Amino acid sequence: SLPVLLVPFAASEIYPNDTKLVASTVASISSLATLGGATGKFVNGFICQAIGGYSSSKIYLIGLAASATIFSLTKTPMHMGAAYAAMEFFASIQWVALSVIVSNYYATSPPAKLAAALIALGLSSTTGQIFAKTAGTALASHLHWRIVARIGASAAVLGALWVSRAPRPAQNPPQQPLSLSSVKASLSAVLGSGLFWRLDLAHAMAFV
């Protein structure tokens, strides 16, 4: 969530006396980030299927921390956009990975426990975004944006440590091997769903 706040500060640093260039730079950087997130949402579900929720969440949180650190070191809009796109790519797997972790952990529990866990997961995601934007704004008003980005990188490393200590089910469910046929079946199931296209349209309007 932090780059949404930090990109305007970074663009103002690059073009301190030209508000039009600042606006266009923010737009170009954000468009690259959108492509990174979209790519992640397309491929990361299959990656999570291949290596499991715990491993993918930890690895991608480390990738997110590395991208945030690179973001804090960039000096050109193109490099900044690439780093931001990488951050969106690595962040996009977390909802999938954590949902898989929770679903596997409560696989043999009553459905109410799984429902409560998924509700808690959804609320924690929203709460985390609100906190990041509130605290990020406060930090950015007192610290340089590059330092705030490194604080975000530290938070991602802390997240990876927490995931490594997350409880695991007594029996791990059998892992489904990733194959071209499973990818095709998944895509057919999703793209053939009317609900997917209705939600897709709503999400597109929210993006606009």
Q: What is the pTM of this model?
A: 0.84
pLDDT at residue 90 greater than cutoff 90: yes
Euclidean distance between CA atoms 170 and 104, whole angstroms: 10
Q: What is the pLDDT of residues 161-186, one digit of tens each?
A: 999 998 887 766 666 666 777 778 88
Query: Please, what is the end-to-end C-alpha distance for the chain in angstroms?
Result: 18
Euclidean distance between CA atoms 32 and 118, whole angstroms: 31
Name the residue with tokens 């923010």.
26
Q: What is the pLDDT of residues 17-42, one digit of tens each?
A: 888 899 999 998 988 898 998 899 88
Residues in the chain: 208
Assign 3-class secondary structure to 58-123. HHHHHHHHHHHHHHHHCCCHHHHHHHHHHHHHHHCCHHHHHHHHHHHHCCCCCHHHHHHHHHHHHH
pLDDT at residue 104 greater than cutoff 90: no
Euclidean distance between CA atoms 179 and 7, whole angstroms: 39
Q: Is 120 exposed, middle or buried (0-12, 13-18, 19+ CB in 10 A)?
A: exposed
Between the alpha carbon of residue 6 and those of residues 10, 95, 96, the distances in Å are 6, 23, 26
The reported pLDDT for the residue numbered 146 is 94
- In this structure, of 61-75, 135-149, 180-194, the range with the lowest mean pLDDT score is 180-194
Euclidean distance between CA atoms 76 and 140, whole angstroms: 20
Amino acid identity of residue 11, one-letter, is A
Percent of the chain with pLDDT over 70: 96
Q: Which residues make Cβ contacts (< 8 Å) with residue 45, sequence separation at least 6? A: 96, 186
